[in-house]
Amino acid sequence: MTSKYRPTLPSTFLNMSQPNTTFPRLLAEHARRQPDAPAMREKDLGIWQAWTWQQVAREVREMACGLASLGFAAHDNLAIVGANRPRLYMTALAAQSLRGVPVPLYQDAVAGEMTFMLEDAGVRFVIAEDQEQVDKLLECREQWPRLAHIIYEDPRGLRNYDQPGLLSLEQLRERGRAFDAQHPEHFERAVASALPDDVAVILYTSGTTGRPKGVCQTHASFIAAGRGGVESDRLGPGDDIMSYLPMAWVGDHLFSVAQWLVGGFTLNCPESSETVMNDMREIGPTYYFGPPRTFEGLLTSVSIRMEDAATLKRWLYAKCMALARRVGADILNGAPVSALDRLRYRLGDLLVYGPLRNMLGMSRIRVAYTAGAAIGPDLFRFYRSIGVNLKQFYGQTETCAYVCLQQDGKVKLTSVGTAAPGMELRIADNGEVLVRGVSVLKEYYKRPEATAEVLDAEGYFHTGDAGVIDSEGHLRIIDRAKDVGRMNTGAMFAPNYIENKLKFFPQIKEAVCFGHARDEVCAFINIDYEAVGNWAERRGLPYGGYVDLAGKPEVLALVAECIGRVNADLAAEEGMADTQIARFLVLHKELDPDDDELTRTRKVRRGHVADKYRVLVDALYGGKTEQFIETQVKFEDGRTGTVSATLSIVPAQRYPAVRAAA
Amino acid sequence: MNARAMDLPPQAAPQGDDAPPPARRIGESILEVKNISLAFGGVKALSDISFDVREHEVRAIIGPNGAGKSSMLNCINGVYTPQQGSITFRGQTFRHMNSRQVAEMGVARTFQNLALFKGMSVLDNIMSGRNLKMKSGLLAQALRWGPAEREELAHREFVERIIDFLEIQAWRKTPVGRLPYGLQKRVDLGRALAMEPQVLLLDEPMAGMNVEEKQDMCRFVLDVNDEFGTTIVLIEHDMGVVMDISDRVVVLDYGRKIGDGTPDEVRADPEVIRAYLGTTH
């Protein structure tokens, strides 16, 4: 397993001692030092086509000169709309070469959203992938007439378009060659004029809260973030990465642009969004990123296929996976494992883990990352136990997705790692994570007041996430800062964090925890009707509908067991022991958006639930053992009715706080 | 769009190697069906049908169930031989044709009930459409003899372009039988395109599809017409689809032609309304 790490790889391939550089200069340096090494690949017509660094540099130059011939100059913004295509990445570099700023936009945004961003960034030039995007941009132009030039990569279906300002990328390069011949020094001069503190890219935030904001990041920030990752994981020539996540997402810009240019490895673009899995198997990337749901989807497909396998294979798989669960993660972490187990694991690798990794396209993976949402513990352990070095990181658009990294050998399931090189962490009094360092944003584009809100006088960026730093410096993200409360004991109370732990149990569908300004934490639980119903049937436990099932003593015992395990978990975590659940009740009805208890995206409306079920909350904290409640419900056909029940209030098993968790 | 395109004089088309091929222009009539009558025993499937198809146009044949649409297509395709009438293709008139002749003349078709090789991959199915274009013999192909291999490479590249065009890269190696219906329809279209047809006959290309699949298929049909200038004759049930994508429409009812013209003309034709769309009394 140790062979997967390549400790001998030169960590600073490019001798990047001088940090004062820009992306176009990094590209030029690669073109000089490793001209014939593959820089990018894309599968086209069923065959992987490669561009060498030299070719990339030449095409970027042609595109830049083409843009210059159209009047694109320093500080102009170039919007890029499309999937991960090598030439779209090149256009970003072309814009930067002229000291302009690429603005990648999400290709699935509708015309209205896109118009907003084009207008906000004052975009006059846009690169579009294909007809679909061109049509949308032409629609945008009706609202934003200053959009003068639309340059498209794929000419299919665009032959009969005669709108002004339409140009194919091929034609742009043609113009570029002519311009270059007439102004041979223009390109070099422009590249030389760019400063590391110039804005390198504007990335739009998703805008879940209010209008999207354009985050301005400089060359220096992104290059520092890229270098931190490259050095931590010793990435360099010979490594392969799959670029398949949206170009407008900060993570893709970190992996596929910043780290690519700093490390000098090879970027691989899939043939289409549907072929990613297959392309991955062919390329066998050494470096990979996927959101948790991707890893979950892969595991599910493996499990389903294993259930259909022959008995002998299933037996072998179960045996090997049990061994992997026991020792796999330790072997990967370099922890001590007995020689016999090592031998067994090697056999398992030959028979199961190796072929499995191959199926997943992960045979050559040295480093895989996930981020963006909480990853289930079983899922995380599964990948690590079969020898995939899956790690987590933490960051946001405002920090180039670069705040914390899990270092090899120091991977903790619950944390997102320690502060990345060049970054500083602090926890504010309200529990909010504050970040200072190389990757923090320069500003929001044309929004000084929004910038002032998130960047304080000391240069700390306010992430809006609540977290805890443990004794070893690992950061654990627990909740959104605005949801975090404080208990009377002074302990921080993070309801989502506890509720998520509860919801990892299939029997628990929904949970609502109370604890802000209280002495103890109490919880409402919604059972999962299907899972618990199934469980009851298998045990021959008769029940008459949801209300009856939810009130069964056996079901209460089942839920109490789950809560006991969550409490044991909380007791083992620093600063969380006080937030163990003291008492709970199982609600007689499912929380429902129709009754305004959940949002349409199925998030609990905490305040509303607390008001509506005030009698229950009072009963939980009032020392009662049961409480009668009658609730009005809306049926799907619009009629209303009432549900009533007497709910038992059950105490939960609590544990003493464990110091210095293993 | 067509009207504008037709106004262009021919020399206005871009010239040179790099220039894209000229924009689609509807040209002269290339296929003419004259007084076709077809009967199965006592059942008259088609009686005295005449219409023409112009180069580069999308021509639809519509009509209620049993109106004779598929029979009409089968006559053009050489599957049925009409008892009366003639078919003129590019100036040559035929009393009857056989399917192979028709294929060699550059007419390809897709099928209402998909006639794909279910056990073969998408790639192989489309490749089978290149059969007529392959020159090397069976033995040379089996042995991958020099020229045969080069030929195979060229054909493979052509097929890959179709796969790219129809956006089915993800299923290249999947056996066709395992694909959902909408995708099988796309493969069927791909195999027809592999023949590099001048005229493409589509038998209910959107039948049994959901709305999204229909939209995709419409786009592919229009793109084929646009990119390759292929003349398209299609039978379709879905009136909305027909009216949106066709240049001209023939309406059949009980084996007779009751309307012919642009979608707007056909929509306004009282007899068509009565027979096909139904009238309100």
Distance separating alpha carbons of residues A310 and A321, to the nearest angstrom:
16
- Looking up tokens 């084929």 gives B224
Averaged pLDDT for residues A256-271 = 94
**Token digits of residue B12:** 């206005």
Minimal Cβ distance to B170: which of A44, A160, A278: A278
> CB–CB of A44 and B164 under 8 A?
yes
Which residue(s) pair with A405 in the sheet?
Answer: A393, A418
- What's the order of all strands across the beta sheet hosting B84-89? B43-54, B29-40, B84-89, B92-94
For chain A, the 3-state helix, strand and coil shares in percent, each to the nearest 5, are 40, 20, 35
Contact present, A332 and A410 (Cβ < 8 Å)? no
Sequence-ordered list of residues with C-beta below 8 angstroms from that of A487, at least 6 positions apart, any chain: A493, A515, A516, A517, A518, A519, A520, A521, A578, A579
Interface of A with B (CB under 8 A): 43-47, 155-157, 159-160, 170, 271-272, 274-275, 278
> CB–CB of B167 and A155 under 8 A?
no
Distance separating alpha carbons of residues A288 and A503, to the nearest angstrom:
28
| Residue type present at position A402 | Y
- Looking up tokens 């069927």 gives B188
**Token digits of residue A562:** 């789950």
Distance separating alpha carbons of residues A358 and A425, to the nearest angstrom:
38
Could you tell me the end-to-end alpha-carbon distance of chain A, in angstroms, rounded to an integer?
Answer: 24
Task: List chain B residues with CB under 8 Å of A275.
Answer: 169-170
Distance separating alpha carbons of residues A284 and A407, to the nearest angstrom:
23
Distance separating alpha carbons of residues A232 and A481, to the nearest angstrom:
29
pLDDT-based confidence at residue A62 (cuts at 50, 70, 90): very high
Q: Strand ranges (DSSP E) for chain B?
A: 29-40, 43-54, 58-62, 84-89, 92-94, 107-110, 199-203, 231-235, 248-253, 256-261
Nearest residue on chain A to B222, judged by CA atoms?
Answer: A157
> CB–CB of A272 and B169 under 8 A?
yes
**Over pLDDT 90: what percentage of chain A?**
53
Task: List chain A residues with CB under 8 Å of B163.
Answer: 45-46
Which residue(s) pair with A41 in the sheet?
Answer: A50, A268
Provide the pLDDT for residue B168.
Answer: 92
DSSP state of A657: P
Which tens digit of pLDDT belongs to each residue from B64-77?
Answer: 888 888 889 888 88
Task: List chain B residues with CB under 8 Å of A46.
Answer: 156, 160, 163, 169, 172
Q: Is the pLDDT of residue B187 over 90?
A: yes
Task: List chain B residues with CB under 8 Å of A43.
Answer: 169
Chain A to chain B Cβ contacts (< 8 Å): 41
Nearest residue on chain B to A171, judged by CA atoms?
Answer: B18
pLDDT-based confidence at residue A375 (cuts at 50, 70, 90): confident
> CB–CB of A157 and B1 under 8 A?
no
Distance separating alpha carbons of residues B98 and A251, to the nearest angstrom:
60
Minimal Cβ distance to A275: which of B1, B24, B169: B169
Which tens digit of pLDDT belongs to each residue from A138-147?
Answer: 999 999 999 9
Contact present, A288 and A393 (Cβ < 8 Å)? no
pLDDT-based confidence at residue B276 (cuts at 50, 70, 90): low
* Least Cα separation, residue A337 to chain B (angstroms): 42
Which tens digit of pLDDT belongs to each residue from A448-504?
Answer: 998 998 999 998 999 988 888 888 889 988 888 888 888 888 888 888 888 888 887
For chain B, the 3-state helix, strand and coil shares in percent, each to the nearest 5, are 40, 25, 35
Provide the pLDDT for residue B17.
Answer: 39
Averaged pLDDT for residues B3-17 = 37
> CB–CB of A46 and B223 under 8 A?
no
**Dihedral angle at the C-alpha atoms of A493, A497, A500, A505, nearest 10 degrees?**
-80
Write down the mean pLDDT value for chain A.
Answer: 88
Q: Strand ranges (DSSP E) for A186-282?
A: 199-204, 214-218, 240-242, 266-269
Provide the pLDDT for residue A209.
Answer: 59
> CB–CB of A46 and B5 under 8 A?
no
Residues in chain B: 281
> CB–CB of B169 and A271 under 8 A?
yes
* Least Cα separation, residue B186 to chain A (angstroms): 16
Provide the pLDDT for residue A661.
Answer: 42
What would you report as the CA-atom Rg of chain B, rounded to the nearest whole angstrom?
20
Distance separating alpha carbons of residues A474 and A477, to the nearest angstrom:
10
Task: List chain A residues with CB under 8 Å of B20.
Answer: 155, 159
Distance separating alpha carbons of residues A124 and A130, to the nearest angstrom:
18
Distance separating alpha carbons of residues A547 and A551, to the nearest angstrom:
6
Nearest residue on chain A to B22, judged by CA atoms?
Answer: A159
Minimal Cβ distance to A45: which of B1, B157, B227: B157
Distance separating alpha carbons of residues A265 and A285, to the nearest angstrom:
11
pLDDT-based confidence at residue B269 (cuts at 50, 70, 90): confident
**Over pLDDT 70: what percentage of chain A?**
95
Buried (b) or exposed (e) across A19-45, using 16+ Cβ within 10 A? eebbbbbbbbbbbeebeebbbbbbbee
Write down the mean pLDDT value for chain B.
Answer: 82
The distance of Cα B76 from the centroid of its chain, to the nearest Å, equals: 11
Which 3 state secondary structure label does DSSP give A603?
A: coil
Which 3 state secondary structure label does DSSP give A253?
A: helix
**ipTM summary value:** 0.72
Task: List chain A residues with CB under 8 Å of B216.
Answer: none
Which 3 state secondary structure label does DSSP give A627?
A: strand
Distance separating alpha carbons of residues A595 and A328, to the nearest angstrom:
47
Task: List chain A residues with CB under 8 Å of B5.
Answer: 160
> CB–CB of A160 and B24 under 8 A?
yes
Minimal Cβ distance to A46: which of B21, B23, B160: B160
* Least Cα separation, residue A274 to chain B (angstroms): 6
Which tens digit of pLDDT belongs to each residue from B197-242?
Answer: 999 999 988 888 888 888 889 989 998 998 888 999 999 877 788 8
What would you report as the CA-atom Rg of chain A, rounded to the nearest whole angstrom?
28
Provide the pLDDT for residue A299.
Answer: 83
Distance separating alpha carbons of residues A201 and A96, to the nearest angstrom:
8
> CB–CB of B169 and A157 under 8 A?
no
Minimal Cβ distance to A45: which of B5, B160, B226: B160
Sequence-ordered list of residues with C-beta below 8 angstroms from that of A192, at least 6 positions apart, any chain: none
Which tens digit of pLDDT belongs to each residue from A31-56?
Answer: 999 999 999 999 988 899 999 999 99
Distance separating alpha carbons of residues A133 and B203, to the nearest angstrom:
31
Which tens digit of pLDDT belongs to each residue from A232-258?
Answer: 899 999 999 999 999 999 999 999 999
DSSP state of A236: -
* Least Cα separation, residue B73 to chain A (angstroms): 28
All structural domains of chain B, each given as residue ranges with its CATH number in brackets, are 1-6+20-106+197-281 (3.40.50.300), 121-196 (no CATH)
Q: Is the pTM of this model over 0.90?
A: no
Distance separating alpha carbons of residues B63 and A240, to the nearest angstrom:
56
Cα-based distances in Å from A138 to A114, A160, A167 = 11, 14, 13
Q: Is the pLDDT of residue A18 over 60?
A: no
Pair type for strands A390-394 and A367-370: parallel
**Token digits of residue A437:** 């360092």
* Least Cα separation, residue A78 to chain B (angstroms): 27
Contact present, A593 and A608 (Cβ < 8 Å)? no
